[in-house]
Structure 1
């Protein structure tokens, strides 16, 4: 592709991003002068691209509103983001009545991608799995697209890789890894597999993987029978060491608790006897009546506690904090802030 042709396409891409672009802005972005920008615009108009010219101090060029304009030009990262969004939307049930629209949109994007990009993205989509939780946690970062694609390729072909990983303390290590699958859980990406250096199963957060390198000459590995990637990731959370062990008593139903603390986060168990100071029914509920409200024991482990007070407030059920004391302090601090805000609002009114 010649440089002038490439710049005309770059101009088209800038106009496709929306809004009005001044001649000075376009000239700066394309690295040409204003006269050349006008000549490129004329070339687009000759191709029946509806470029509008806006006169005046704040004038410039824009595409006609509502015009459906091919071709779409995606970088590798942009194509990856669009396809992942379509897949995640379908898996989360975020579809319209025309539930095939996401599939046809993904197919159209993949058809116009360069073959090597389409192949890598297809490999990634075949390697993904999802748990039931969604939503990005506070402080999380998306994984590097190159890391994600390289691991997906290793999963697809069962090839060992060398990864550079930073743990929660910031320590960097390198290890040989046999990736079994990539899983999206609670707004983060994870890869699960076998750490060949330690000879044990491990799950790693992808946003902490800094580099992935193929091992020349390494033959394919065999994935052992047993749980799939999702089950491996969730079981890894259940056995991992965390800073805090939290025990609560909550008066409510299992369904009410699970709406805010799913099984992947917390365990819920019935108490043998109702709490003496509770307002529960004289005849306590039994496991034969799981929808009845009763006192339940909730246990979970967490690296941070700052999200739990908000979750307990959203739960809106009576609860007792058994441990740790730090959580009790955080809940009291949240209650004080809410009370102060309510009093300030009442005073102003």
Structure 2
């Protein structure tokens, strides 16, 4: 007969399939008497697991949804699947969900044995499909270390590769992770440069929590998300564009959203003005609206639209 703790975990694993188990079935699976089974079920209830029981000859047990989420028991394959799924969904653009995703990923990876971490990394490498599927793939272990050091106000060492390919080790005081444009950024105070910096997470490697705690400095921005947005905007050259679309403003606004201004141009048309860092944004808007355009400015935009149209048409 298994020990009490081992038996309880086995019972919980069976009940979390959410199928209905008769008392004799469960007792037989656990190699215990039905009396012992009842005591084990009562212990699970005391831990917050809502186990329903039905009396009688056909009586049995089933785990139901409760008012709060009790601790979950997952197998190795399930833990790996959860970690890979969370990593893939991180950075979807919904900041509240992104934060929750990283916190959940951090908790799971932190308790994973090395053999499972290696499986997560192997699956990430195998399933990485590039920016079209959500930007560069991020190592779940890396994201977990960053989240933990932000949470614990712990200095961090990283190897960082700049846009020009130059790399080196940095020691930073991490402040917060921010998701922007399907990328993750770490906002941190760079001790070597004596200033605040944003670091693209996909350019980081070899993270090491130093164990040294620090007091958070005052960020020179209202919040971390604003700081990242301002830094990105300062680095990107921008272009003012304008074009007329043969579609009503209400329809065009659904595609442009907050990225530009839409005004009625008469005859069911709309005049759109935008400030972009690439003409591809205009291509995306026109494709989303699905209507002809005219009066596009500047001339380089017209050439880009013609070239893209020919490429898509196979000309």
Interval containing the TM-score (normalised by the shorter chain) = 0.5 to 0.7
**Residue 157 (structure 2) aligns with:** 162
Q: Distance in 2 between matches of 1:116 and 1:147?
A: 14
Displacement of 1:236 in angstroms is: 2.8
Aligned length: 226
8 Å CA contact 1:136–1:188 kept in 2: the answer is no
For the aligned residues, what is the CA RMSD? 4.7
**2:302 equivalent to 1:328:** yes
Displacement of 1:179: 2.2
| Structure 1 residues 224 and 141: alpha-carbon distance in aligned structure 2, compared to 1, 3 A threshold | closer
Residue 76 of structure 2 corresponds to which residue in structure 1?
73
Q: Is the 8 A contact 2:188 2:196 kept in 1?
A: yes
CA distance in 1, matches of 2:92, 2:280: 28
Structure-1 residue corresponding to 2:261: 268
Matched, 1:238 2:233: yes
- Work out whether 1:312 is the aligned partner of 2:286: yes
The 3 A distance-change label for structure 1 pair 75 and 165 is: farther
1:280 paired with 2:270, answer no
Query: Relative to 1, partners in 2 of residues 1:321 and 1:73: Cα closer, same or farther, differing over 3 Å?
Result: same
Comparing 316-325 and 166-175, the one that deviates more: 316-325
Flag the 1:90–1:267 CA change in 2: closer, same or farther, 3 A. closer
Residues 250-289 of structure 1, C-alpha deviation per residue, up to 9 Å, x if partnerless?
Answer: 44677655544454xx44376xxx8xxxx625xxxxxxxx
1:186 positional shift: 3.5
Uncovered stretches (5+) of structure 1, i.e. residues with no partner:
1-45, 49-69, 95-101, 119-134, 282-291, 342-349
**Which aligned pairs between 1:1-349 and structure 2 lie closer than 5 A?**
72-74=75-77, 78-83=81-86, 116-117=111-112, 136-137=131-132, 140-217=135-212, 219-224=214-219, 226-242=221-237, 245-251=239-245, 256-257=251-252, 259-263=254-258, 266-268=259-261, 280=266, 294-302=270-278, 305=279, 308-317=282-291, 318-323=293-298, 325=300, 327-338=301-312
**C-alpha separation in 2, matches of 1:160 and 1:258:** 45
Q: Distance in 2 between matches of 1:194 and 1:332?
A: 45
Q: Tell me the TM-score normalised to structure 1 length.
A: 0.49
Residue 197 of structure 1: CA displacement? 3.2
Distance 1:169 1:308 in 2: 28
In structure 2, relative to structure 1, the CA distance for the partners of 1:170 and 1:245 (3 Å cut) is farther
Shift of 1:47: 7.2
Which of the two has greater helix per residue? 2
1:224 positional shift: 3.4
1:175 aligned counterpart, secondary structure: strand
Q: What's the offset of the Cα at 1:337?
A: 4.2
State TM-score, norm by structure 2: 0.53
